[in-house]
Amino acid sequence: EPEVTQTPSHQVTQMGQEVILRCVPISNHLYFYWYRQILGQKVEFLVSFYNNEISEKSEIFDDQFSVERPDGSNFTLKIRSTKLEDSAMYFCASGAGYNEQFFGPGTRLTVL
């Protein structure tokens, strides 16, 4: 069964450093998403991406965040200058349309 994959599983970085989280969505999906989950809190929507552009973003997704689909298979989330409060589990999801979203296993980001 096809699944969303994410790398790395755990990323440790120093405050102020740039990080790139990588995702490979399910191959025939057209809609891509990033969510995050701070420990003990809700899973929160960050951004959705369709047709090579951002279709919606939350207030969390400020200028420090960007997304890219550099080729036909990868979908990345970049955080330019990480802050302590960016420490969270980041989930990538993809969908073929009409709501169903399939989530990857997540990348745990730890900012020191």
Partner 1 sequence: GENVEQHPSTLSVQEGDSAVIKCTYSDSASNYFPWYKQELGKGPQLIIDIRSNVGEKKDQRIAVTLNKTAKHFSLHITETQPEDSAVYFCAASISGGYQKVTFGIGTKLQVIP
> Minimum distance between the CB of residue 23 and partner 1, rounded to whole angstroms?
11
Cα–Cα distance measured from residue 41 to residue 28, given in angstroms and rounded to the nearest whole number: 31
> Minimum distance between the CB of residue 41 and partner 1, rounded to whole angstroms?
8
Closer of 66 and 101 to partner 1 (Cβ): 101
Q: How far is CA 29 from CA 2, 33, 62, 81, 90, in A?
A: 11, 11, 26, 30, 19
Return residues touching partner 1 (CB under 8 A): 4, 6, 30-31, 33, 35, 41-45, 48-50, 55-56, 58, 91, 93, 95, 97-106
Closer of 68 and 100 to partner 1 (Cβ): 100
> Minimum distance between the CB of residue 50 and partner 1, rounded to whole angstroms?
5
Q: Is residue 73 classed exposed, middle or buried when 0-12, 13-18 and 19+ CB atoms within 10 A define those classes?
A: exposed
Closer of 18 and 56 to partner 1 (Cβ): 56
> Minimum distance between the CB of residue 17 and partner 1, rounded to whole angstroms?
25
Nearest CA to 88 out of 23, 40, 32 is that of 40
